[in-house]
Amino acid sequence: MTHRPPYVPGHSLLEGRTAVITAAAGAGIGGATARKFLEEGARIVIGDAHERRLKESAAALADEFGKDRIAALPCDVTDQQQVDALFAFAAGHHGGLDIVVNNAGLGGTADLVDMTDEQWAKVLDVTLGGTFRCTRAALRRLKEQNAGRRRLGQEEKTGGVVVNNASVIGWRAQRGQAHYAAAKAGVMALTRCAALEAADFGVRVNAVAPSLAMHPHLVKVTTPGLLADLTEREAFGRYAEPWEIANVIVFLASGYSSYMTGETVSVSSQRA
C-alpha cells in the first residue's frame, strides 16, 4: 500500500484557542501543525531559531489565514530567556494561552564510539532540554492563568494542553542514534512526570512518537540509503506526510482526548 491519503480538512476542533508551536518554520511537522491549527480555528504564535524562515512562514500563513490569527517570534529553545519571551509574547498578543506544541528537536548520526561530548550535549540540549524549558514555561503560565480565572469565577475557561514531539526511536534501537534516542526517550519520561504534576491544576500533557515523516531538513541530514531502509520498514511502504503527524497533534490538543494525559501516541506504520 503506497498510495497517498487525501488531505483531511479542518473541523473547527480548536476554534478560538491560542497555541504556541516551536520549530514551526518550514515544511516539517511544526509547519504542518501550524497550518492544521489555523485550519481548525486556532490563533497561533510560532517560534523558530531560523529567523528568515520564520518570517517567511509567518507571512505566508498570515496571507492565507489573516494577520490577526498568526504571530511569530524567533526562539532558540536552548535559551531560557528566549523561551520565556515567546510565552510572554503569546499570552500578551492573544490574551491567554491554551495549547503548547513542543516540536523543536535536533538529530544527527554518529556511532557511540566516535561520538563527541559536543555532539551528545547539543542533541540532548535542543531535543530534551528544549522540551523541558518550554514545558516548564508553559506549565508555570497555565497554572497561574488557571488560578486567576478560578478567582474570577471563570472555571469554564481553565485548562490547557501540552503536546511534545517524541519519536519511535525512543523505544526502538537504531545505529548511530544513541544521542537522539536517549533524548526522545527522555521526552517520553518527561511527558509522563509532567502530566502527573500538571493534572493538579487541570492541564494535560501528552506526546506523539512519529516513525518517519519526510520533509526537506530530514533529506539534508540523512543519507539516501538510510531513508530507503527506513521507508522499507514501514508497513504502508511509504513515509508519513508531516500533516499526518499534525492530525494526531490536533487530536491530542482537542477535546476529543480530554481523558488522556501522560501518554505517548505512536504515529507509525513500522512493523514490530
Question: Which residues are tagged catalytic?
Answer: 180
Residue 37: is its pLDDT beyond 60?
Answer: yes
Confidence (pTM): 0.92
Q: Rounded distance, CA 202 to CA 206, Å?
A: 13
Tens-place pLDDT, residues 209-263: 998 886 555 544 556 666 666 666 776 778 789 999 999 999 999 999 999 999 9
Tens-place pLDDT, residues 128-177: 999 999 999 999 999 999 999 999 999 888 899 999 999 999 999 999 99
| Beta strands across the sheet bearing 264-267 | 70-74, 43-48, 18-21, 99-102, 161-165, 204-210, 264-267
What is the four-CA torsion angle of 228, 210, 91, 63, rounded to 10 degrees?
A: 40
Q: Grid coordinates 531560523 are at which residue?
A: 50
Residue type, 36: K
18-267 architecture in CATH? 3-Layer(aba) Sandwich (3.40)
Cα R_g (the chain), whole angstroms = 18
User: Looking at residues 109-123, what average pLDDT do you find?
Assistant: 97
| 272 band by pLDDT with thresholds 50, 70 and 90 | very low
Boundaries of every domain in the chain? 18-267
pLDDT for 225: 66
